[in-house]
Amino acid sequence: MTAEITQILKPKKGATRGPAAAGHIALRKGKIYKVSKILTAAFLNFIRDLSRLLSVFLLVSTSMLYDSTYLPFWIALICILGAGFMWYLTRERGPAPIPEPYKDDKGRLVYSIAALQRFDGRNNADKKMYMGLKGKVYDVTKSPMLGVPGEHYAKIWAGKDCTVSMCLLSLKAEDANRTDWDAVQKENVQYRKALLSWVKHFHDKYPVVGYVEEYIKDGRDLEAEDKQDLIEIEEIEKAKAAEKAAILEKKKREAAAKKAAAKK
């Protein structure tokens, strides 16, 4: 069959340029049609031969099945296949590979929450500890708050997104890596204030090394968010300063009143 196809497709001299080119193309199409017919016939022959082999196998198997001589063979075969199937279902699978961070179309280094888990201070060569907070990934390796990798706060937050944890001021492991950060912030004004306080703390102390994929994947405008956050943080700081000043003023008045009462 191979020789026949080669003979059909063998190019002939002439008629490849000039006015005869169209005729040559038509001839070539005819050759391809012939080759396709040969291949189709060969495929059909293969299917026919395969069906014959399967028919013979089924006939032999059926005859063996009803022959009590082969009954132990079938029982052993069924047991082996069953044991193999159970092993396949219950076998221990290795851990899924941790994805790598990547650069998006804006050139930003992006970490999925799954990729962050590598940076818990134990599972990377340089012992880095990263935390995700409100869409940004911070290098908190030098944080005294986290302490030793794998222990205390590091066990809860290192290598994870902590946005919801910081909103709720939660030490629960299940609050790390939650992605309902928008709903939680809207649930209570105090939750957003707590989050913004942590955002300011992290912004002032730790370098940003990337962005959280799940936070930015919907096309969030982080620059606009940052501006709004800064406005709210300034308002919170002013309110805290005013509250502190009012407390100091109250203490001064109370001290003055006590002093005046003592003189009487």
pLDDT in tens, 110-124: 999 999 999 988 877
**203, amino acid identity:** H
What is the DSSP-derived secondary structure letter of residue 120?
A: B
Instruction: Say what the pLDDT of residue 92 is.
Output: 66
From residue 54, alpha-carbon distances to 51, 67, 138, 196 in Å are 5, 20, 63, 71
**150, amino acid identity:** G
Q: What percentage of the chain reaches a pLDDT higher than 90? A: 31
Q: Binning pLDDT at 50, 70 and 90, where does residue 93 land?
A: low
Ordered by start, the domain boundaries in the chain are: 29-64, 102-244
Q: Where is average pLDDT lowest: 74-78, 131-135, 185-189, 209-213?
A: 74-78
Cβ pair 167, 180 in contact under 8 A = no
What does the pLDDT average to over 84-92? 70
Name which residue leads in pLDDT, 52 or 252: 252
From residue 244, alpha-carbon distances to 241, 247, 251 in Å are 5, 5, 11
Q: Are strands 136-139 and 109-111 parallel, antiparallel or unpaired?
A: unpaired
Name which residue leads in pLDDT, 70 or 242: 242
156 has a pLDDT exceeding 70:
yes
Q: Binning pLDDT at 50, 70 and 90, where does residue 236 land?
A: confident
Instruction: Say what the pLDDT of residue 23 is.
Output: 41
Instruction: Say what the pLDDT of residue 29 is.
Output: 47
Mean pLDDT of the chain: 79
Instruction: Say what the pLDDT of residue 60 is.
Output: 59
The alpha carbon of residue 57 and the mean position of all alpha carbons in its chain are separated, in whole angstroms, by: 47
What does the pLDDT average to over 137-157? 85
What does the pLDDT average to over 213-219? 88
38 has a pLDDT exceeding 80:
no
Pick the CATH number of 102-244 from 3.10.120.10, 3.90.550.10, 3.40.50.2300, 3.40.50.300: 3.10.120.10
Instruction: Say what the pLDDT of residue 15 is.
Output: 46
Instruction: Say what the pLDDT of residue 17 is.
Output: 46
